[in-house]
Structure 1
């Protein structure tokens, strides 16, 4: 036995030594590569003065070039810079992907164990220095200080490249309470508003624009200048996993809120105070077959059994385009039966060039959704309809379709090869480069891409949070109020299930068992199927909308024990038939805090929200719906627009 333990200790020691040596090997490997990248950088751009005008000497030639002159016409600045760019620099400009950062805001040069996604990403310096990329989507939220510091560090690195082209920092929505790296990023230090569904429940365009203006301040303070939002898709298929990011299923309501959202972020025109919007997903990503999401191969088809394709264009034609959205993102799926070639939106020339460019006259940047081209560990490539093409051929087809940027990819070398071999002309490449540079110039990034740490006071400021709480209050929908159970006014004893005790304590006595209680408050969440075939898949709530018998049993048993107020957090349409029947009161929540919900329950304000989506009565009613048609389930439990008030 002693020999066994001696052997085990030696084996363990060897294993520990191997781990240490492996970590050390990769650390020095990453460090060596990083040092080589930084060695290629030039000095920082000097601030020079000519004829009394100060400018950043971005190409370090000691003289004022037109692209460095903020007084010059933007088109002149574009052409001057375009003429100085190499093919490799142009290609790098047309790719955007995720980028990591260290907790302190320093460049992410070595993968971080606490951020597994960084193991799948190239270092910041590889992307900027080697690949000439300068558009990045950030997915972390260490602190406001770290985000601002990282922006400034990246801008310094970009400034030290040959032409000093600044970085554009992009982000998915950050003001929701849910976290999905494929759709939105939880950011605790930002103000906490409601989901887009919540804004649709309110239906107030003035509030929507106010949100955009306040969110823009928080974005700009930390360096985010491109919002990968809003979602102008329509929630006509209730099983779809992206409904939480939409403004519901009514096209006119979505159009109004989409327009107000963009005006809030961009202003009446794109300028140095703006955050540019990349509105998505043209031509409407909602009608997914059986509700399966197009991030994954089983959701590759968008279908139109109700012949309702044009309905899904309304949020763009009456919302995004009138608001002058800077950029557009097509979705992944194949619009089945709508074009002569059955390929995904990002590859579809009839959609991008024929419909978006020619029919609707959109001349801004069109960027594909993330991950259409290459294999990766996070999700398979959404090369729907072009699976037989090589990666290089896929890039060619994306640009032939009329897109300007490739999202979620960092392979500009493929674009370089296409131009060198003559598959893609320099004229076509320059057309996209001009569009992308135009937004950088309009945003003022060439003149000053840095943020001031002194402006971080506004991030999550109480004045902004007050407005966010008002939105939370106004978004709550009272679905049922049997015998006027609500508001609870008399002193009472309350038992809580999945609800914050501190939120209720100011209004009632919280007890430890249903037997002691006068009322029960229980909080539920929309059910979904757990899927984990792909790394990203676990973040998407898809599939069933019904509660299983095993899930229903404790919910109904609790409701049967005492009068029950049920709160349901809706990120999609839940089937609540049995639960509604067992509850005295039912409240729909769109990411409001428990404190705000408790204030409603105890009569501190009157509910005013209206359902932005229909709540079906059964799974069969869901399955019988047409994916592209709004509010069409038979005998819905609660119809679109339903919402009670206190009498």
Structure 2
């Protein structure tokens, strides 16, 4: 770790370039604009370019740096930090709090060896809930566990969202996570879409209000040393994917707007911009027939879409922050024996250099999931990209680092991290939110459960089931049955990441209804369904005596909701369809159905 130097007039600073002099960019007394301008003028082209790439990284055992390609990372840590001069990383694997803090400090010490000691900004996808998806989110692990964002949407409480985001901020900053690749402001309008769990549902007004509360909790009133810089995604709304197929994959390349509801998808973003969101991420999708605010989108991926980024986001909406592309728009990603093609939808004919040039021309500042720094250096050297264009992006990127206070102190306290991450208070608040977000669809008059039961259970851990009574193995011997289910999906595992995404039909297999009916003949039946997507529940309504939905609730939290320890007050964040025929007939971009089984906002 670099020593702190004290000047004769008492200024303490980090001598990041090792020249023994307090340079303006090292001076904590100066304004951000002055420090950025000074540093930008000192940087080589390679250092500037290094700021513009953000690749995936992992922590090693006990917080060690991973020197060699990891499970998902492409290169050794030293290679990307000191060789490619990169200083933004999206971390996947993290250990316990102490190990995560130790890893951050080791990474920052490595960054100090670069020519100007630019500190690292570590980002993360959501990691406080249940869904484990290497392409979108991570289960809580050492962090306090909360419902998915759909569960917070079910509670419709901006104050609670703000509180959750503040807790997440405290836990993130404790281990050195200073950038959030969230909130997800997409509307959940296409029931089959795999990424609804991280959204705030289908209603643009609800998404806007909760999104702003989230930013207030994460970033604070202004970006500063205690903040986590947020990225609002996926501009201008990623939920309207054709046939519900996700745009990570070639078969999901298109966004479709048959009902002309594109403006509804855009609605949350002006609110986030007004709230000071640090960065905006366009989605992979290629829009078909989309016009927003009188601007016609090009039929290329949103990251390549000059009308969407330059004219709409920068021009019409006045966004001046960082535009961060979604991951791997330039190069194919090969992991093990699988491949995920570059999401260069609409510009597949371009080579990687051409794609990078097109992303810059569209207005992107930073390239997610990529580390091809030499490609950009060559584009500048050949005259295809002006260095002044590089400066424009790097100025925005450095501005964020300085405001976060990383140049003055990027290190964290391992002991403090252990005390903050997963603190008992935070865990208790998350548990209560899980229970409260349970949404009773039918049979509320049978709740809360009371008395001693002989209970038959499926999908519930024995210790939680025992709180309901004596657990029996046969419904015929039970006075109550509780069955937990998950919304159905079709397993796919051809392309890299594909197996993590819950896609395809929302209908349960036909045998399930008959099996549950047999249980219900023996004793009253409670069915709980985890809705990471709006499953077709029509076959369960007349079978279950009580039908509830959850959006990320552990077994004990569910028992708390069923027994009245915590009142289940959740409401549906999206409509539930009656059938797959209704789903297939539904316009991908339109919020809600004409005749849903249960409507958004419903609770029994």
Mapped to 2, the partners of 1:609 and 1:127 lie a distance apart of 45
Check conservation: 2:436, 2:570, Cα contact below 8 A. yes
Matched position secondary structure for 1:225: strand
User: Please, which moves more after superposition, 161-170 or 336-345?
Assistant: 336-345
Structure 1 counterpart of 2:359? 398
Gaps of 5+ in 2: 291-295
How many angstroms does 1:582 deviate by? 0.3
How many angstroms does 1:506 deviate by? 2.7
How many angstroms does 1:335 deviate by? 1.3
Check conservation: 2:467, 2:559, Cα contact below 8 A. no
> Does residue 282 of structure 1 match 2:235?
yes
Q: Could you give the per-residue CA deviations for residues 476-504 of structure 1, whole angstroms, max 9, x where no partner exists?
A: 1100007x222221322110011122113
Q: How does 1:168-183 map to 2 (within 5 A)?
A: 168-183=121-136
2:211 to 254, 258, 279: 258
The change in CA–CA distance for 1:133 and 1:360 in structure 2 (over 3 A counts) is same
Structure 2 counterpart of 1:504? 465
User: Please, which moves more after superposition, 331-340 or 609-618?
Assistant: 331-340
> Does residue 91 of structure 1 match 2:49?
yes
Check conservation: 1:45, 1:59, Cα contact below 8 A. no
Matched position secondary structure for 1:506: helix
Structure 1 counterpart of 2:333? 376
1:216 to 163, 169, 175: 169
Check conservation: 2:286, 2:302, Cα contact below 8 A. yes
> Does residue 47 of structure 1 match 2:4?
yes
Check conservation: 2:58, 2:94, Cα contact below 8 A. no
> Does residue 76 of structure 1 match 2:34?
yes
The change in CA–CA distance for 1:161 and 1:254 in structure 2 (over 3 A counts) is same
1:193 to 146, 149, 159: 146
The change in CA–CA distance for 1:555 and 1:212 in structure 2 (over 3 A counts) is same
Q: How does 1:628-647 map to 2 (within 5 A)?
A: 628-632=589-593, 634-644=594-604
Check conservation: 2:255, 2:286, Cα contact below 8 A. yes
Q: What is the TM-score of this pair, normalised by structure 2?
A: 0.96
Matched position secondary structure for 1:329: strand
Structure 2 counterpart of 1:102? 60
How many angstroms does 1:188 deviate by? 1.6
Matched position secondary structure for 2:274: coil
1:468 to 430, 433, 439: 430
Mapped to 2, the partners of 1:455 and 1:335 lie a distance apart of 46
Mapped to 2, the partners of 1:131 and 1:111 lie a distance apart of 15
How many angstroms does 1:448 deviate by? 0.1
Matched position secondary structure for 2:457: strand
Matched position secondary structure for 1:211: helix
Check conservation: 1:568, 1:589, Cα contact below 8 A. yes
Check conservation: 2:98, 2:415, Cα contact below 8 A. no
Check conservation: 1:569, 1:588, Cα contact below 8 A. yes
Q: How does 1:311-330 map to 2 (within 5 A)?
A: 311-318=264-271, 320-330=272-282
2:287 to 335, 352, 358: 335
Matched position secondary structure for 1:177: coil
Check conservation: 1:141, 1:186, Cα contact below 8 A. no
Check conservation: 2:131, 2:148, Cα contact below 8 A. no
Question: Bigger radius of gyration, 1 or 2?
Answer: 1
Q: How does 1:475-624 map to 2 (within 5 A)?
A: 475-481=437-443, 484-624=445-585
Mapped to 2, the partners of 1:277 and 1:219 lie a distance apart of 12
Work out the number of aligned pairs and report it: 593
Q: Could you give the per-residue CA deviations for residues 137-170 of structure 1, whole angstroms, max 9, x where no partner exists?
A: 1111321111111110010000111110000000
How many angstroms does 1:550 deviate by? 4.1
Q: Could you give the per-residue CA deviations for residues 542-601 of structure 1, whole angstroms, max 9, x where no partner exists?
A: 111001224444334333432100000110001111112100001111111111111222
Structure 1 counterpart of 2:293? none
Check conservation: 1:101, 1:140, Cα contact below 8 A. yes
Check conservation: 2:478, 2:522, Cα contact below 8 A. no
How many angstroms does 1:507 deviate by? 3.5
CA RMSD of aligned residues (A): 1.2
Mapped to 1, the partners of 2:59 and 2:415 lie a distance apart of 21
Matched position secondary structure for 1:437: helix
Q: Could you give the per-residue CA deviations for residues 310-352 of structure 1, whole angstroms, max 9, x where no partner exists?
A: 111111112x112110011100001111235310000000000
Structure 2 counterpart of 1:359? 316
Q: What is the TM-score of this pair, normalised by structure 1?
A: 0.90
User: Please, which moves more after superposition, 208-217 or 331-340?
Assistant: 331-340
